[in-house]
Amino acid sequence: MRLTVEVWRQEGTEVAGRFETHVVEGVEPQLSVLELLDALNEQLIDGGREPVAFESDCREGVCGACGVTVDGEVHGPQDNVPSCHQRLAGYADGSTVRIEPFRAGSFPVVRDLIVDRSALDDLICAGGHVAVDAGTAPDADAVGVGAETAELALDFAACIGCGGCVAACPHGAAHLFGGSKLAHLSLLPLPALERRQRAVAVVEELEELFGPCSHYGECARACPAGIPLTAVAVVNHERLLAGLRRRL
Amino acid sequence: VGVARSSEGLRHAIARIRDLRARFWTEVAIPGSGAQLNQALEKAGRVADFLELAELMAIDALDRQESCGAHFRTEHADAGEARRDDEHWAFASAWGVDAAEPGGALVFTRHAEPLSYRSVPLGTRSYR
């Protein structure tokens, strides 16, 4: 089929961007949004023009490198699916697809469809990691973690760090991202030792770098890893616990 | 440059890699410039590195006159078994690579880091 692609072009962070219109012929419906960009780029390179810059790595939905906004929808028209798995089957022959970068105040555009998502890294550095000196590794069955707890922790650990939640949120909040780290780590024995410091650090980063949360739930609708909205509630839960513990 | 390699095959590989590398540096087309983020330029830089590394691997394999580790030089084998030469080759090669200009002919210099074992003597394992 034939698709008209309106794609965002921006030379750099400080330069104004614009939409550029191209027609791509011979598009198969089973192709992904990223493969449409590949086809467009081949066309641009053949014509001696610069390809559209965009990020991708595994193209299997597990790495979190990709992420574009398609017709105003984070990652693409389907819910809970990363850009690399968003197929073009929903588009009729001759229709138009508008592809632009993730839009969020904390994600400045680097070039074309690439945004700087290092604010997420800042949050991880502040509290999204484990820094407990654990000594030598205990026997595997010496520290008991129940199967249900382990499964729940893994569900929250499924976050691929793409930043889709921030782009989907009208406020640009990262509570789903931050909450998934807090939930995942507070459930496990060693990371739970620094639960209070972690909650304080993560909440501070959430407030400093991202927007406030109003429980719209757009983040959970977009999240390609299917992180539940519960993660957002975990942020306040952990914050409250940390506050209570501090006073004791 | 496979697991089993011969002097003749390696010389052939080196000639082909050099040809590919020369073609890369004269024919490569990279859109855009280095002034902004340029993914095509990043990829080209990686290909340039891989071409250098490919030549280095073949040069090192050709240089070593023994069969050592998991790799076999077909010239250095006894009835299908690897033949090591610890008298002359008990060292790890550390290569210096230089070129007069970007994309120019590579000049390789071998430095040796001797392997000395104090508690266990060197020996050849027999699989027969």
pLDDT, tens digit (0-9, with 9 covering 90-100), for A69-91:
999 999 999 999 999 999 999 99
pLDDT tens track for A30-66: 999 999 999 999 999 999 999 999 999 999 999 999 9
- Token pair for B13: 């590989």
Averaged pLDDT score across all residues of chain A: 95
Is residue A49 within 8 angstroms of chain B, CB to CB? yes
Interface of B with A (CB under 8 A): 31-32, 36-40
For residue A215, what are the contacts with CB-CB under 8 A and spacing of at least 6? A229, A232
C-alpha to C-alpha distance for A57 and A66, rounded to whole angstroms: 7
Q: Are strands A109-111 and A114-115 parallel, antiparallel or unpaired?
A: antiparallel
pLDDT recorded at residue A247: 57
- Using a CB-CB cut-off of 8 Å, the residues of chain A touching B39 are 51, 53
C-alpha to C-alpha distance for B92 and B90, rounded to whole angstroms: 7
Q: Given pLDDT bands bounded at 50, 70 and 90, which one contains residue B126?
A: confident
pLDDT recorded at residue A222: 97
* Tally of CB atoms within 10 A around A83: 29
Comparing B79 with B54, the larger pLDDT belongs to: B54
C-alpha to C-alpha distance for A228 and A225, rounded to whole angstroms: 9
How much is the pTM? 0.86
Under an 8 A CB cutoff, do B37 and A48 touch?
no
pLDDT at B52 exceeding the cut of 90: yes
pLDDT tens track for A184-225: 999 998 899 999 999 999 999 999 999 999 999 999 999 999
pLDDT at A19 exceeding the cut of 80: yes
ipTM computed for the complex: 0.79
